[in-house]
Structure 1
Amino acid sequence: MGKRYDQLQPDQIAFIGEQHLFFTATAAPGARVNLSPKGMDSLRILSPNRILWLNLTGSGNETAAHLQLDPRMTLMWCSFTTRPLILRTYGTARAVHHGDPDWATLASELPDQPGARQIVDMTIDLVQSSCGFAVPFMDFRDERPVLKTWAEGKGPDGLRAYWDEKNRQTIDGLPTGIEANL
């Protein structure tokens, strides 16, 4: 049976720190639900009720647009190793863009990753744990270098051009707010 908490517990914070992968979920009114895997050392826990993660450049930019219209977000981690556990955090979040006044302060909490597009700042109002008994065992081999290499090859101007071409709108045509970065 799952358990609920109003904030992350110390053992849950340690569990998150051990994971190489997490999932994000958002939805805007009338739009498709977005569910995305994330990795690459892009997440930091600032307090038991606050998480930051670096939204790196990708083919879509659904999260930023969804959060403008409906700030609800869920993050999920699941153990693929010995301890069976699924952990979810529920709350509200906002996408912080390069041009926003608090970008530099928040970015200083995160690793410097090429292709950093937004910072997602989440306030947690519910934490839920569940058993994870059906999650398969899987071994972590390594981070993929492809996104980092690709972003470094594009350079700042190439990334801005990519954002302009691919990241201004969601698959449902919603604006993502990335225009401030161009």
Structure 2
Amino acid sequence: MGAFYETIPENIQEWILKQKILWVATAPLSAEGHINVSPKGGESFGILDDKTFWYHELTGSGIETISHLRENGRVTVMFNAFEGSPRIVRLWGHGRILERESPEFNAFVEEHNVKTIPATRSIIIVDVHQVGSSCGYSVPFYEFQKFRSTLDQVFEKKQKNYEEGKSEETMDRYWAYKNAWSIDGLPGMKRGVECGEKEKVEPIVKMVGPNAPSSPFGSGYSRSRPGVQVASSYAWLLLCVLLAFVVGRASAGHEFELIQRLKMMAGV
């Protein structure tokens, strides 16, 4: 039977700190937006008090959690037991983002002795307003082996390349390319957005097909090539309208001359 609390009970705090994996769920405000669930593995998370949870957020190809938190703050963190007694715990709350190397981030890392790595992207702090504990009878048993090291290796190599003189290997450029915008066109990493504007880094398009967002980089974002195509399309549309008008109204003896002038005006 499920139980709910306004704070994190001590026995649940102790259990949480023994876990090896957690899930973070967020969503945009738009009804057309995409709900996100991200698995997080590692030992770098903790509980500041009975209403405050935090975790060390690492760089990846997506930026949904940060984008959603920046827009509305809503977040659910979930843990479940893979060994011992069955249990599922959810923390509902509002999240705050401490971006890497910001004054707030630096102060938190120093105060709580957080070991950062090249892949470090932010610290997420969750102000918890409700805790739910329920059975996990349908969750299977799994035996933990070890944490993966691939992510660490990838970004350690990127940092080494940068230190050896490859200026394009900065984390800011990576964030500009992959972490500046969510799949729904919400802004993500501030440093990524700023770097993209400053260094002209064109972000990656993530979703494809007819159901992909029409503005993957925010409604105010413009890209050089599509912009040219849009301008050209408007020119052609204007030309077609004017030509239709001319055909209907102009005399037969002056049609050709007027059409040529309209083409010149439209730059075609």
Q: Confirm or deny: 8 A CA contact 2:94 2:126 kept in the other structure.
A: yes
Partner of 2:44: 42
User: In structure 2, how many angstroms separate the alpha carbons of the residues matched to 1:124 and 1:57?
Assistant: 24
Confirm or deny that 1:165 pairs with 2:177.
yes
- Quote how far apart the aligned CAs of 1:150 are: 0.8
Q: Confirm or deny: 8 A CA contact 2:63 2:189 kept in the other structure.
A: no
Confirm or deny that 1:66 pairs with 2:51.
no
State how many pairs are aligned.
182
Structure number with greater CO (CA < 8 Å, separation at least 6) is: 1
Partner of 1:130: 134
Of Structure 1 and Structure 2, the greater helix share is in: 2
- Quote how far apart the aligned CAs of 1:99 are: 4.7
Percent identity over paired residues: 33
1:175 to 166, 182, 187: 187
The alignment's TM-score, normalised by the length of structure 2, stands at 0.65
Q: Confirm or deny: 8 A CA contact 1:92 1:124 kept in the other structure.
A: yes
RMSD between aligned residues: 1.5
Of Structure 1 and Structure 2, the greater strand share is in: 1
- Quote how far apart the aligned CAs of 1:100 are: 3.0
The residue correspondences of 1:51-90 to structure 2 (distance < 5 A) are 51-90=53-92
Task: Say which SS state the counterpart of residue 158 (structure 2) adopts.
Answer: helix
The residue correspondences of 1:3-18 to structure 2 (distance < 5 A) are 3-18=3-18
Structure 1 alignment gaps of length 5 or more:
none
- Quote how far apart the aligned CAs of 1:68 are: 1.3
- Quote how far apart the aligned CAs of 1:52 are: 1.3
- Quote how far apart the aligned CAs of 1:39 are: 1.1
Larger radius of gyration: 2
Q: Confirm or deny: 8 A CA contact 2:175 2:189 kept in the other structure.
A: no
Q: Confirm or deny: 8 A CA contact 1:43 1:52 kept in the other structure.
A: yes
Structure 2 alignment gaps of length 5 or more:
163-168, 196-268
The alignment's TM-score, normalised by the length of structure 1, stands at 0.94
